[in-house]
Amino acid sequence: MQAENNLLKKRVNLFDGISIVAGAMIGSGIFITSADIARSVGSPGWLMVVWLITGIITVIGAISYGELASMMPDVGGQYVYLREAYNPLIGFLFGWTTFLVIQCGSIAAVAVAFAKFSGVLFPWISDRNILFEAGFLKISTTMVVAISMIAFLTWLNTRGIVTGKIVVNIFTSTKVLALFGFILIGFFAIKGHESWEINKAVFWEAGQIGANNQVIPLSGFVLVTAVATALVGSLFSSDAWYNVTYISGEVINPKRTVPLSLIFGTLIVSVIYLFINWVYIRILPLSGSPDGTDVLARGIQFATDDRVATSAMSVVFGDYAAIIMAVFVMISTFGCNHGLILAGPRVYYAMAMDGLFFKRVARINSKGVPGFAIAIQGIWAILLCLSGTYSDLLDYVIFAVLLFFALTIFTLYILRVKKPDVPRPYKAWGYPVIPALYILTTTFIMVILLIYKPNYTFPGLVIVLLGIPVYYLWRRFS
């Protein structure tokens, strides 16, 4: 793919790469996901264990992807790794699922999150404020803001990679600094708060919230299962770190820069996420009641609308917390979506160069970026927004995403045999044991999901498998 890489301008340095990794990872998940995890595992200690495991898995994944990125510094990243290790069909299935649901669905979901938090500052932005209705189609002010965000960022990313990376750097730096501020406030503003004493007393007493909000004690394999299912939410809050591999063709010295960006970016965010959750359990009791009259009575488990960060800050700042967190989440989701919109089109571009997507998608515009690929991604994300199905689709592809993770890590073993002489400036640390641990862990989570959440896993498999006939039809008629 060197010819196609030469069409793209190499403007992304190490700082930019780290910003893209961290910026894509930090969205709205860290501010809400801990409530669901707390309901699943029921103790402060196990809440922290879930986030610790998430961080370890994510960093191991980044370390493993680093070798692949140094070996194949091509535009398209993960798509290229799968194509080269297996065959074009597997690469296509990844690209198909990425375009159809993973990337565009994530863009739609993040845009709606941005719009909903905007409603805290501007009450007229609401799902209940319907501007247009025709049959199943309802366009609210929330939807208008979400669509406007996608349209603006899509246009912005057609202006060139330099413009794109500057915006990423600004928003990622702002997010990281704000999160450090959140952590400092949590550590110093609530010293000696009684919530911490309550949590310490039940630190390892695991329990799951069942029917009628009754607590079901957890131990043994049942506890392991609860942790595995809880990992789904935290892993998705730490997702999208691999997006930087998609733009490898635009990275300066990609064989070094991309692996380092992956490792430093995931490590920074994983550590921040651990400290954020430590702040949560220092400020708020983990256990609570859905009928609680204030944030302390509701606890982490039943924070209003699962907005744990807002509840934590309200202990410190009172009524101003909602506004403070709304502004922060708006900044976070805006920056996150910019990174997603920037990176995704490079996968479709690589597919088009291989004859597996519309030919026009392979065109580079006057600014040196795949403008048409960026545009069709924006259009599909907007259509998903309008349909309202993006949330369901994202739930369905949880299994598929984990499957592609495991398949990609397994390419390390395949390519060491298949292409032993290809230079590898960076080699995965701990090979073959550490990558194997990643594969075993993700496989275990997939098995648990197949058993305990088949309503999510099987629709996801169907979405992926539908790509098989599409692939052969495309090859036949293209």
d(CA 309, CA 313): 6
What token pair was written down for 469? 């006939």
| pLDDT (0 to 100) of residue 217 | 84
Contact 339, 261 (CB under 8 A): no
Q: Tokens 């413009």 map to which residue?
A: 163
pLDDT at 423 exceeding the cut of 60: yes
The Cα 106–Cα 137 span in angstroms is 21
| Spatial contact of 283 and 312, defined as CB atoms under 8 Å apart | yes
Q: What percent of the chain has pLDDT over 90?
A: 71
209 three-class SS: strand
User: Per-residue confidence at 7, pLDDT binned at 50, 70, 90?
Assistant: low
Indicate the residue type of 453.
Answer: K
d(CA 357, CA 379): 16
Q: If you average pLDDT over residues 112-136, what whole number do you get?
A: 88
Q: Smallest Cα–Cα separation from 110: which of 404, 402, 384, 459?
A: 384
pLDDT at 190: 60
CB atoms within 10 A of CB 289: 12
pLDDT of residue 191: 55
Query: In this structure, what token pair is assigned to residue 217?
Result: 């004690």
Assess whether pLDDT exceeds 90 at residue 473.
yes
Domain boundaries, the chain: 2-477
pLDDT at 166: 95
- Of the candidates 387, 401, 371, which has an alpha carbon nearest to the alpha carbon of residue 146? 387
Q: Write the single-letter amino acid at 149.
A: M
Q: How many CB atoms lie within 10 A of CB 286?
A: 27
pLDDT at 213 over 80: no
Q: 3-state DSSP call for residue 370?
A: coil
Summarised one tens digit per residue, pLDDT across range 71-114 is 999 999 999 999 999 999 999 999 999 999 999 999 999 999 99
pLDDT category of residue 477 using cuts at 50, 70 and 90: confident
User: Is pLDDT above 80 for 170?
Assistant: yes
pLDDT reported for residue 6:
52
Task: Say what the alpha-carbon torsion angle 291, 292, 297, 303 is, to the nearest 10 degrees.
Answer: 70
Per-residue confidence band for 459, with pLDDT thresholds at 50, 70 and 90: confident
In angstroms, rounded to a whole number, what is the distance separating the alpha carbons of residues 347 and 18? Answer: 19
**Is residue 2 pLDDT above 70, yes or no?**
no
pLDDT greater than 80 at residue 281: yes
State yes or no: pLDDT of 468 exceeds 70: yes
Farthest-apart Cα atoms in the chain, separation:
69
Instruction: Give me the chain's average pLDDT, please.
Output: 91
List CB contacts of 452: < 8 A, sequence separation 6 or more: 225, 229
Banded model confidence at residue 182, pLDDT cuts 50, 70, 90: very high
Phi, psi of 163, deg, nearest 5: -60, -45
* Distance of alpha carbon 234 from the chain centroid: 9
Write out the DSSP string of 150-179. HHHHHHHHTT-HHHHHHHHHHHHHHHHHHH
Q: 133 has which bridge partners?
A: 138
Could you give the CA distance from residue 28 to residue 106 in angstroms, rounded to a whole number? Answer: 11
Condensed to tens digits (0 to 9), the pLDDT of residues 286-341 reads 998 888 888 999 999 999 888 899 999 888 888 888 899 999 999 999 999 999 99
Question: What average pLDDT does range 248-253 have in this prediction?
Answer: 93
Does the pLDDT at position 210 exceed 90?
Answer: no
pLDDT per position as a tens digit, 215-225: 888 889 999 99
Cis peptide before 217 (omega within 30 of 0): no
**pLDDT reported for residue 434:** 94
pTM score above 0.85: yes
Say whether pLDDT at 397 is over 80.
Answer: no
Mean pLDDT lowest for which of 254-268, 379-393, 426-440? 379-393
Fold held by 2-477:
Amino acid/polyamine transporter I (1.20.1740)
Please state which of the ranges 3-12, 177-186, 218-227, 425-434 shows the lowest mean pLDDT.
3-12
